[in-house]
A and B are shown apart, each in its own frame.
Chain A
Amino acid sequence: MKHRKFFVCALSGTFMLSVLLSLSLGSYRGVGAEELFKMLLGEPLTPVECAVLTRRSIRTLAAAVAGLGLGLSGAGLQYVLRNPLADPYLLGLASGAALGVLIGVLIGRCDPYSLFTLAFAGALATFFLVFALSMLAGMSALAVIVTGITVSYVVSAVNTVLVLALGEKVYGTFLWLFGSVAYALKERVIQSILLVSIAGCWLIIRSRAINTLILGEEVASSLGVNVKSIRTEVVVLSALATAGIVAFAGPIGFLGLAAPWVARLAVGSDFRRLVLMTMVSGPLISILSDVVARVMLTPQEVPLTAVTSVVGAPVLLYLMIRRRVWG
């Protein structure tokens, strides 16, 4: 228990540090920690410094929202689908959003508003297909997973054909297709915050019920929990939250899987504590990844997925191994 408390404190501390780091690091050298403290002390900044800091904070916010939403959705899905490897893209959202973007390029609607709307619509459409099929299949955990994966593959096949057919026109969307918050727009991030917080609040409210699922579906039912309805709720809400994120940042990989696991290794598998901890671990991983993504090859932008895996994997593996040692 003692090391768990230490872990919670360490993660929270690192989270705050990562925010400061994210605000003070970037490819524009003129704004660093010094200017950040100046701003915090209320000293006036030049308009350019102000603009750069604004942009960085939007980026940081975008990364945090993406980490939060994906982490929470991942945590919820891992419990209700009773599968430790579940992540939000299991529901076909990533390939659906990519389909929307590719259709946008195909019909020549490449402005950021159309692309956002099309990505969001594509993600939701694919999800509803998955949802309808899993309802037909009885809404069991297995049904959701199998239909999700199947639909994802079908949509990905269409995407591949589109990428080939679109040729060079698709080039400019690659950063989006690989996930990045470099071009996040403020309004879109704020809209996603709304969806993410609805999903988050619901998960917290229902965390007791979700927690019973650890014991197995029969036990949960015998404890008076409607397993099917809670599964439906969590699937729909996390899909909505993820669709919002995918639409502005693209499919950032590994976050939905790693964030709940880091949290779980810190606070144990009690969902009530885990959901709160995921709210720290998710944004932490994505903000740190984004810092690396922008600093690694500056001034080039690196897709976030490439970094989340590189940053997230060692943390997760380290924790696994340490935990095994602690037994």
Chain B
Amino acid sequence: MVNSKSIWTAIALLALFLVGVGAFIAKLAADYSKLSEDVSKSYKEIGEIREMMGDVSSAVDELNTIVKNELGRVVEKLDELTAAYSEHSQAISGIRTELINLTSELRTRVEELRREVESLKQESAKNEDLELLAGKLKEVEDRVKRIEEKLSKAASLEELKAVRRSLDEVKRSLVEVEKLLEFPATIVDAARSLVVIPSRPSRIVSLAPSATEILFAINASTQLVGVDTFSNYPPDVEEMKINGSLIDIGSGWYPNVEKIIGLNPDLVVGVESIVSHRTVKEILSRYGIPMLLLPDRTLEDVYKSIIIVGRATGHLKEALNVVNNLRSEITLLRSLVSNVSTRPRTALIVWLSPLWVTGNETWMHDLLVLAQGQNVFSNISGWSMVGPEALLEAQPEVVIFTAGDTGITNCSTVISTFRDVLGEAVNKIPAVANNRVYCVYEEYNDILVRPSPRVAKALKLLIALIHPEVLGLKPDEIPNDVKPETFELPKYEDLGVEQSIRLRHLAVITVKVHH
């Protein structure tokens, strides 16, 4: 039995269901209408796009035809180009290898010349001639660099041709550079005057023993016709003076102008420090004779002099060699004394009465410093007279006296001379008390007192006297009278100095030079 209550409940449930369904349908309808609206909009858009698509496709069609035509032409051109390229490629590759060879060749030449100029520049920084040379070389180097860059990028024949043209230019400027190393030579000498040497000199007159030694060291001795009275090294000089192949032109202090003019020289070499050489230079210039004044103060000046003389006489290569050997020997000697613990106070005496001592700004001072000695008279400039008390005051631990032409033949004379003036206070001088007063004679005297290519040997002598232990000598092995007959300087071989060490020092020098 179905009661009314349950019927109403059923109806209510149904109505509720219907309402729910209605709502759902209404929602659906609303969604649908919105969707249809969107769709119709989309259709509209699609229509628009369709329209545009039509435009695009026509444009693409147009483009296609154009591309087809152009492509044909491009292909044609490409064919042409490939043909041309295959035609020239062989020639191009030939030229390219040739150019590469040329550049590398030029590079090495430039490199060589640059090295030469670098060391030249080091030796005589003041020389305008060499400055010019260095400038030119730099230019050439830059050009070669630019050419190399171009070469790496170059593709066409035209470009390669351009590279070749610039290479030719470089070649021409290299010839110019080489000309600068030939004659006429223009040299700025120590008196800061420009000396022009028109051709390779064949009649040279030397006014100083050091200049004579330099001329012999760089193989210019056959060009030498006259030397001063004091020139005596190498021993050939004395012989040549006797047999007449070298003419004595008088004392180096006061050279005989008439004698020089009579020798008809084409180059005269003097030194800066002798005042009369300036006047001689002036007089000789009236007769068209070029004269060089070599710098002769410091150790650097010795190197400079050698280079200047080398340039002036056409023996630059030999001069550079001599300087390099000197530098390497001096570096080697420096390395030997680099570890000494003391720097003995040293007095270098060049004349006894009056007492003349060596101060700074001299090559002797430079050598003394390199020998790890301490110059007690470094407050004096050049060589100067001092009183005997100055020696007592200076308290030198080592005294070295160059007894060459002073007529003194025995070291005890030197000490007794000091004693005459200072009395027993002479024993307060450490060098006297410890028996370290040395007199050097003959060749040993000459190497010390001349700014010549023998300065390395002089340094070795100073080391032997100041630091005998580093040369494997005992202090009492060294006689007070140091002559070649009584005392022999140890050889490098005997010192156990290996070649490799020497080479390493050479490398150090090379680095320094490039630096």
Contacts and interface: CB of A to CB of B under 8 A. Distances in A.
Given A111-B282, A299-B249, A299-B250, A172 B275 contact: yes
Interface stretch (A27-35, A89-97, A214-222): A27-35
B282 to A, nearest CB: 5
B191 A111 contact: yes
A52 B382 contact: no
Nearest to A29: B262
Given A167-B384, A298-B259, 20 more contacts: A27-B259, A28-B261, A48-B262, A105-B275, A164-B384, A167-B382, A167-B385, A168-B273, A168-B382, A171-B253, A172-B253, A173-B276, A183-B257, A183-B279, A185-B282, A299-B250, A299-B259, A300-B256, A301-B251, A301-B254
A170 B191 CA distance: 17
Contacts of A56: 258
Contacts of B384: 164-165, 167-168
A183 B256 contact: no
Tell me whether chain A's interface is mostly helix, strand or loop, or mixed: helix
B171 interface: no
B216 interface: no
A60 to B, nearest CB: 12
A110 B383 CA distance: 18
Nearest to B350: A168
Nearest to B271: A172
A186 interface: yes
Nearest to B272: A110
A112 B258 contact: no
Interface in B231-277: 248-251, 253-254, 256-259, 261-262, 264, 273-277
A154 interface: no
A26 B280 contact: no
13 contacts: A27-B259, A56-B258, A111-B278, A172-B273, A173-B276, A174-B253, A175-B254, A182-B254, A183-B257, A294-B256, A299-B229, A300-B250, A300-B251
Interface in A152-188: 164-165, 167-176, 182-183, 185-186
Interface in A24-52: 26-28, 30-31, 47-48, 51-52
Interface residues of A, number: 40
Nearest to B280: A183
Interface string A101-114: 00001000011110
B12 interface: no
B255 to A, nearest CB: 8
Given A167-B384, A168-B356, A294 B275 contact: no
B513 interface: no
Contacts of B279: 112, 115, 183, 185
Contact of A185 (B249, B273, B283, B385): B283
B287 interface: yes
A273 interface: no
Nearest to A47: B264
B286 interface: yes
Contact of B256 (A112, A174, A186, A301): A301
A167 to B, nearest CB: 4
Interface in B352-389: 356, 382-385
Q: Report which residue of B256, B257, B259 has the largest number of chain A beta carbons within 10 angstroms of its beta carbon.
A: B257
A172 B274 contact: yes
B278 A30 contact: no
Tell me whether chain B's interface is mostly helix, strand or loop, or mixed: mixed
Interface in A173-209: 173-176, 182-183, 185-186
A231 B356 CA distance: 47
Contacts of A175: 253-254, 276
Interface of B: 191, 229, 248-251, 253-254, 256-259, 261-262, 264, 273-280, 282-283, 286-287, 356, 382-385
B380 to A, nearest CB: 8
A110 B278 contact: yes
A183 B382 contact: no
Contacts, number: 108
Contacts of B264: 47-48, 51
A301 B282 contact: no
A55 interface: yes
A261 to B, nearest CB: 30
Contacts of B286: 186
A48 B262 CA distance: 6
B251 A28 contact: no
Contact of A300 (B229, B275, B385): B229
Contacts of A183: 257, 276, 279-280, 283
List 6 tightest A-B contacts by C-beta distance, closest first: A28-B262, A172-B275, A167-B384, A299-B250, A172-B274, A168-B383
Contacts of B191: 111
Contact of A172 (B261, B276, B282): B276
B257 to A, nearest CB: 6
Given A168-B382, A175-B254, A112 B261 contact: no
B256 A48 contact: no
A168 B449 CA distance: 13
A225 B269 CA distance: 59
A111 B382 CA distance: 20
Interface in A271-327: 294, 298-301
A52 B261 CA distance: 6
B219 to A, nearest CB: 27
B375 to A, nearest CB: 15
Contact of B275 (A27, A52, A54, A169): A169
Contacts of B283: 55, 183, 185
Contacts of A31: 262
B258 A294 contact: yes
B278 A298 contact: no
Nearest to A105: B275
Nearest to A183: B279
Contact of A55 (B254, B261, B382, B385): B261
Nearest to B256: A299
A299 B228 CA distance: 10
A110 B275 contact: yes
B256 A167 contact: no
Contacts of B273: 168-169, 172
Contacts of B356: 167-168
Interface string A129-171: 0000000000000000000000000000000000011011111
